[in-house]
Chain A
Amino acid sequence: MEAAKANGKILILAEDACAYPGADAAGQGHMSYSANTYIMRVKAAVLFPEQFYLDCFHKGIAGIIIMSCGVETPYHGAYEALARRIDRVYALMKQEGLDIRRLRLTAICTVCTRAFIKEVQQMQDLVSQLGPPGSEPAAAAGAA
């Protein structure tokens, strides 16, 4: 069970203008991090509907980090729309008994290598602690 917990997959939605090059920069610096992380390059994470996140958890993804450009996104207004959507996802996660800490919205820039590593490590620690999605105690699901 511990091994299964440790291997919980982390999906990283990395925005093309900032976080994806930021992840590349971490690689260029040979800054090691957990191998259970899968980075998907996205133009803007505002593209994903609420159900996408829930489906990811249903499929077994243990944690999702949205690495956005924050308010500095090249798409004016996209971050605000994304933040509102994530609030709705949190509400849906609570309804399903999912710990909302499994989904994290962050802003990572092209050179934010330390922040990138820190976010990955924190999510890794969390999914190791929580185990597979759906296995968390009901009381913990609302923890923010």
Chain B
Amino acid sequence: MAKKKKPEPKTEPTTGGKVGVYVCHCGGNISDAVDVEQVCAQARKIPGVVVARDNMFMCSDPGQEMIIEDLKSGLVDRVVVASCSPSLHETTFRSALARAGANPYVYEQANLREQVSWVHHGPAATSKASRLVAAAAAKAGQLKPLAPLRVEVQPRAAVIGGGVAGLKSALELAQRGQEVILLEKSPFLGGQVAQLDRLAPLGETAARIIGELAAAVLQHPAIKVYTCVQVEGFEGYIGNFKLKVIRRPPGGGEYAAQLSTLSQSGQGLGEFVPFVGLMPASIPETQEDIHLEAGVIILATGMRPYGPRTGEYGYQKFPQVVTLPEFIRLLAAAPPGDTLALEGRPIRGAALIHCVGSRQIPGVHEENEGGYLNEYCSRTCCGASLYAANLLRENYPQTRIFDFYRDIRTYGRGQEELYTQAAHNQAVFFRFEAGEEPQVLENPDPQGPPLLVRVQDVLTFGEEIEVPVDLVVLAVGQEPNPVADLVEKMKIPVAADRFLQEVHPKLRPVEVAVAGIFLAGACQAPFDVGETCAAAGAAAVKAAAILSRGYVELDPFVAEVDLSKCQGAGACVEACLADGALTMVELEVGGQKVKRAQVNPVLCIGCGACVAVCPENAINVQGWTLKQFESMVDMVVSDEYLEGA
């Protein structure tokens, strides 16, 4: 290596800012791995840091108040909070600064939870935390007050998905005076709910729920519905999203069964058809490209029932094995009587098997096609199964029900009653362990029912029991609809369970990491219809808040020219990635006309491509200057302020 003089660490703050450091325990999430007191003690040794305090929850009111008091008293004029990721609480703490009368941009956050305590342990975690705090303090000391940029918002929302979540979101938005575009892939509105009959736990009909919602949507003048559409292009940002949508007739016999049912029903456009949905418009005859602009987007892409593998619990091996949604459809078409008869076949005994395609355990259960396991509880299947069991027993008293469960999870209002009612209705319960699922076999007795369900029953201390039945109903769980293309285009985070991931279930529910995009319903987790509508309402309200304001304030992190340094080289203009954001203008400096760079902050995207090419470092991105980054590196490599505290 050629001999180079090692640069001296530049650890002194350049502006003399009075930096306050506030370290969060995060209720033990941080302090279980990081010695918070030591981090504070070391922070007090950093030049420019005038105070270092800690709190169990910095995001709590007392935690924020601590910062506000120090700002108001004049003790500090720059703030570093060392806590969770800035994606979670940067806005929280900037708001605290604003409430104290300070500029919200003289703030820096050190990420001690996601990037330290949750991934490191022992002294190394504390050492790293201290260096990150030192780096943040070095940057904070150089921060300048900034004003946010204002961006106008396209005055409409795009809702993707025409199931109950999409319908509810669209209607809630429209009722708040907002213009809505509702996009549905299929020719029908209603989604998976339209494939059901009565809904657990209260027994409303899907026809009523979807019929009323869809009718209200179609009649509302502020909602424009497009069916048979696919989102092919996506670009933009909060306030200004652009969607390229293609509307075309379904291909390859897709939706042929539903269209046939619709045709046979005698119902017309705009009328609900059981187990199909509601078709609001004719199927397009040709392909049409549609370009849409929206200020916000709600994803309501929904779920689909788990599809058992061939042979799983005898599915597709024995015609008497059906999934719960299939059974609901059969039950709706069954004639009245003492004994249930399906397609002319009497059902004297029916088995219900829970947790099919849910709560799958690695190493115990077989992976599904695609190599994944559904390790989550789908939550809704216990209630739906017991509701169906009660319906069966109460309408067909001569049909017996045998319920095989791993655990019964009838959570929430009106659900536990279903379990009690099923017991009252003389449903017979068997319990099995994970890995000891019931086996569905052909009954060797030709005189008996066609199937035999064999189980090691936990309730009778492991006794092997064989139950002859005419029907097996599999209580399948929920899986997210496959929307990989959309997710890829929009860069939406997907959780390990393949459902779309909200930023935080408590602090920022229904929001995703991409600003201006919200989640509604079962695309984010297994939900029942009530929960779906609640989430859809939440998404609509958050979206409406942006639309009704008419503008969003964006961070002012755009380029700024230091005219005292600019020599007019023009390299920044050549390097600029945003057309028109940087231009050379003629100015008078010292009585001479000279060319200097000028930034258009509205057009500047704040990438910093200009920063790297300026020989004078005369241009920087506000809040993210090169000198700040250099100071951060200096603190990362320096041991000077981190030892002996």
List chain A positions with a Cβ less than 8 A from chain B: 9, 11, 17-18, 20-21, 23-33, 35-44, 46-50, 52, 55-56, 58-61, 72, 74-78, 81, 85, 95-98, 109-111, 133-136, 141
Contact = CB atoms under 8 A, between A and B. Distances in A.
A134 B491 CA distance: 40
A78 B637 contact: no
Interface in B565-579: 575, 577
Nearest to A38: B636
Given A78-B577, A98-B1, A55 B630 contact: yes
Interface stretch (B170-178, B384-392, B604-612): B604-612
Nearest to B117: A27
Interface stretch (B48-56, B120-128, B286-294): B120-128
Interface in B92-131: 111, 113-116, 118-121, 124-125, 127-128, 131
A48 B614 CA distance: 11
A38 B577 contact: no
Contacts of A44: 607-609
A60 to B, nearest CB: 5
Contacts of A24: 85, 87, 111, 114-115
A92 B298 CA distance: 48
Contact of B513 (A21, A43, A85): A21
A111 B496 CA distance: 9
Given A43-B606, A85-B612, A28 B633 contact: no
Nearest to A18: B491
Interface string B494-531: 10100000000000000001000000000000000000
B2 A95 contact: yes
A46 B612 contact: yes
Given A43-B608, A46-B608, A72 B633 contact: no
A31 to B, nearest CB: 7
A37 B4 CA distance: 25
B629 interface: yes
Contacts of B636: 9, 11, 38, 61
B127 A38 contact: no
Contacts of B637: 9, 59-61
A47 B491 contact: no
B437 interface: no
A38 B7 contact: no
Contacts of A55: 7, 630, 633
B593 interface: no
Contact of A47 (B2, B86, B608): B608
Given A32-B120, A59-B637, A95-B2, A47 B609 contact: yes
Contacts of B87: 20-21, 24
22 contacts: A11-B633, A21-B85, A23-B114, A27-B85, A27-B114, A27-B118, A28-B118, A32-B120, A36-B128, A40-B135, A43-B607, A47-B624, A49-B612, A50-B612, A52-B612, A55-B633, A56-B633, A59-B7, A61-B637, A75-B607, A110-B513, A133-B1
B115 A23 contact: yes
A133 B131 CA distance: 20
B642 to A, nearest CB: 13
A5 B135 CA distance: 23
Contacts of A9: 636-637
Nearest to A25: B493
Contacts, number: 153
Nearest to B638: A59
A123 B115 CA distance: 17
Nearest to B237: A74
A130 to B, nearest CB: 12
Contact of B113 (A27, A38, A40, A134): A27
B41 interface: no
Contacts of A141: 1
A135 to B, nearest CB: 8
A44 B576 CA distance: 13
A40 B629 contact: yes
B621 A47 contact: yes
Interface string B583-626: 00000000000000000000001111101110000000100101
A72 to B, nearest CB: 7
Interface of B: 1-2, 4, 6-7, 9, 85-87, 111, 113-116, 118-121, 124-125, 127-128, 131-132, 135, 237, 491, 493-494, 496, 513, 557, 575, 577, 605-609, 611-613, 621, 624, 626, 629-630, 632-634, 636-637
Contacts of A72: 491
B48 to A, nearest CB: 19
Contact of A110 (B9, B119, B120, B491): B491
Given A38-B132, A59-B633, A76 B120 contact: no
A136 to B, nearest CB: 8
Contacts of B626: 47-49, 52
A78 to B, nearest CB: 5
B119 A32 contact: yes
Contacts of B575: 81
B630 A52 contact: yes
A21 B606 CA distance: 19
Given A38-B128, A49-B612, A55-B633, 16 more contacts: A9-B637, A23-B114, A26-B114, A27-B114, A27-B118, A28-B118, A43-B621, A43-B624, A46-B612, A49-B613, A78-B607, A96-B1, A97-B2, A111-B494, A134-B1, A135-B1
Contacts of B86: 41
Contact of B111 (A25, A39, A110): A39
B118 A42 contact: no
Nearest to A76: B577
Nearest to B4: A58
Nearest to A96: B2
Given A30-B119, A33-B119, A43-B557, A110 B6 contact: no
Contact of A77 (B2, B496, B577): B577
A26 B237 CA distance: 25
Most chain A CB within 10 A, of B6, B115, B608, B626, is at B115
Most chain B CB within 10 A, of A11, A96, A111, is at A111
B586 to A, nearest CB: 27
A78 B609 contact: yes
A77 B9 CA distance: 33
Most chain A CB within 10 A, of B1, B132, B633, is at B1
Contacts of B116: 35
Contacts of B124: 35-36
B1 A61 contact: no
B35 to A, nearest CB: 14
A133 B7 CA distance: 14
